[in-house]
Structure 1
């Protein structure tokens, strides 16, 4: 039995290039890219997912992976995967930014812990909201929609040296503003109420200068803040995040020209 160089490179590329796209998505996507997940588990999951989407890959060009064209194909696959995962990561990080704003307003900005998603220190309030949002993301099947989006991307953007252009990166950077806009909408009720409380404390301090605003105001904001979060933010958080995720998926589909 004899095999030609073209057949061997086609077999290698049929798994290697889909694995690059899927692996790049898994590396940065929420839930999948969690740093608490062992690297071996993430590599195995990426390999299993790449094998699962092979029926949707289609025809793979018989190009030598070590050639210049093969390098361009590899770069394109990594960029496509990064775009899909990074857009969802930006959407999830809206609650982190919102939590930081609320924690600073209520005097809990000093209470921080390490975020397992990014490895950076974030306020405890942001971490609590991130856990809730992650559970909501899994509950509504967001991980399944992301896997479906990855499989559909092979039909819209087949494996080739041509793929996403620089316009796509400008659109991703522009969409990052939606992360801050979503964070403002999430944190606005709590920050507004705490601002009114601080203004009232300022008026009271002006009327009674002997009152220590620090000894009175900080306990009040730390007591009222969590109650406001539980009463104003958490009930509407799933709905707000569903809108942000829906917009993110729509933008990714538009960037990758995915229909259906």
Structure 2
């Protein structure tokens, strides 16, 4: 374990294979980096650009009218198998029939949106904000993408075909463009990356500007946030080591919160069965 911890942060110097003892601090973060000898399954968690912590990620699915937690999972904080898209799909596995799925932007990946379309669910997942390449400049939504023809048109009206890697390379067309200062700071001109689920992401951003979409999202968010607050109150730090034990604890806490919520809603025992008043 100590060898793993020390070895993952160094690399051989240029021109060395490491057998001569010449090493340097690695200039990149190791994939699936282990951060603790006490709990090897914990990972760095990036809640936001400015907020970082170590541990795991907990995910819950909540019925927004009642605040009842319908499913939950605690996973490692990195890796494709533990990504928000993968975990969210697992949490919805037991749902039958068409449902509206509301979630914050952490779950707004193209992969998850494609899953919702495949299952026939209504997508009410908040899209992540798009940021311009230069302050105050154009965003990806200012570029018109023809997905059928695999072409992209920039704000200046220049059209480029997508490469096999999904890039629209404008290159020399940017040299004398009057809009360049608002588009890119790259010396070689603008290159726009069009990802596999770009059409779904653009559609989601358009929907999120609709007042009806905004009202629905705002209507249900408070109860979900309240459920999260109940779950994390006094429990921001996990009690055990490893994913399995902490996931077990999360399920027990969620069950206890559901019972409290049901009692608040009027759960009673009639002598032969439980019923809501």
TM-score for the superposition, normalised by structure 2: 0.22
| Structure whose residues are more often helix by fraction | 1
| Structure whose residues are more often strand by fraction | 2
